[in-house]
């Protein structure tokens, strides 16, 4: 008998109508990469200025008051550190950085317990108080330029928070038999030392953990890249490689044969430089136990079959 004709298979399609047949690796998405990333909404300049000036005018007024009664730039910083209201103190530290010590990291200036140490270590390079007072007096209140700069800090991290919140909702919707835990928006990272008592680097932070019952099936790391390039590319993917090797090395040592690593990365920064190729190499290094995904890839790449394999 003649062999019956085999009915051709139809390519599966994602919710956006893109063909997904044959896509197995992160590299398979590169030829239409722009359709797989999520663009977060932004705000237009100068539309933000009225609201920015209203929000930060009290900050500049208070900075001016403290500036007038400070006998030195170190004294100015110590006076700022005395404030108990965290939000205002952090904003004043940012203004201080712009006017007095642009080389000092804001993250350092924000730590109240390190105020005296910062003055001891960096005070000699602070801009003299007389120059600071003169420069501050030369600008209007509110200073639109400085308010616009401070506004940029306001939603820093929001895109990443939106990313993880949507990811958590997707996992719960498509894989209800699993539990996903971690900070959905702002919050303390999951320290892997709290997941496994004998984890070799107990302070290793993760953004989420996926489990079925008591069995941990995946640990994950999330990042939204609005922009990324140059040395930042190497730092990011190099750090991720080390992290993945550490997690999978621990899994091999403990016989955790199902444990996977998920890197949820999204945003237009993925389209810059060698980022896509670097993430492809990272995924391939895991021999099937690492997946790099954007939000739009989650339904077809973070599946029950892969998690349980």
Tell whether the model's pLDDT for residue 23 goes beyond 50.
yes
Residue 19 has pLDDT above 60, yes or no: no
Q: Summarize pLDDT for 141-179 with one digit per residue, the tens.
A: 999 999 999 998 887 778 888 999 999 999 999 999 999
The helix/strand/coil state of 211 is: strand
Cα separation, 250 vs 209, in Å, equals 15
Model-level pTM?
0.79
DSSP class of residue 2 equals P
The Cα 187–Cα 185 span in angstroms is: 6
Which of 133-137, 224-228, 245-249 bottoms out in mean pLDDT, i.e. has the lowest? 224-228
- What is the Cα–Cα distance from 9 to 22, expressed in whole angstroms? 12
pLDDT of 108: 87
Average pLDDT for residues 195-219, to the nearest whole number?
Answer: 96
Burial 239-266 (b: 16+ CB within 10 A, else e): ebbebbebbbebbeeeebeebbbbbbbb
CATH number 1.20.120 is the correct assignment for the domain at 157-308: no
Question: How many CB atoms neighbour CB 56 within 10 A?
Answer: 24
Mean pLDDT check: name the lowest of 85-99, 102-116, 220-234. 220-234
Q: Which of 11-20, 190-199, 243-252, 267-276 has the lowest mean pLDDT?
A: 11-20
Q: Where are the domains of the chain?
A: 49-154, 157-308
């Amino acid at each position: 008998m003649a062999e019956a004709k085999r009915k051709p298979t139809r390519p599966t399609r994602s919710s956006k109508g893109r063909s997904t047949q044959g896509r197995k690796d992160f590299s398979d998405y590169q030829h239409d990469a722009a359709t797989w990333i999520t663009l977060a909404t932004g705000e237009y300049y100068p539309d933000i200025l009225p609201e920015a000036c209203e929000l930060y005018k009290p900050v500049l007024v208070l900075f001016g008051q403290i500036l007038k009664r400070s006998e030195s730039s170190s004294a100015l910083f110590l006076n700022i550190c005395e404030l108990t209201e965290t939000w205002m103190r952090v904003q004043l530290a940012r203004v201080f950085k712009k006017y007095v010590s642009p080389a000092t990291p804001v993250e350092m200036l924000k730590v109240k317990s390190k105020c005296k140490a910062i003055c001891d270590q960096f005070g000699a390079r602070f801009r003299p108080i007389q120059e600071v007072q003169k420069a501050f007096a030369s600008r209007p209140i509110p200073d639109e330029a400085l308010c616009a700069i401070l506004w940029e800090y306001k939603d820093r991290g929001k895109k990443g928070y939106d990313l993880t919140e949507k990811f958590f909702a997707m996992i719960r919707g498509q894989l209800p038999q699993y539990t996903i835990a971690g900070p959905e928006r702002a919050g303390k990272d999951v320290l892997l030392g709290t997941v496994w008592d004998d984890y070799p680097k107990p302070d290793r932070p993760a953004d989420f953990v996926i489990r079925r019952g008591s069995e941990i099936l995946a640990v994950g790391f999330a990042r939204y890249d609005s922009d990324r390039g140059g040395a930042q590319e190497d730092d990011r993917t190099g750090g991720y490689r080390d992290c993945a090797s550490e997690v999978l090395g621990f899994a091999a040592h403990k016989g955790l044969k199902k444990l996977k690593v998920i890197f949820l990365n999204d945003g237009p920064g993925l389209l810059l430089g060698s980022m896509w190729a670097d993430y492809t190499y990272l995924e391939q290094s895991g021999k099937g136990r690492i997946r790099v995904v954007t939000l739009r890839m989650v339904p077809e790449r973070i599946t029950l079959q892969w998690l349980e394999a």
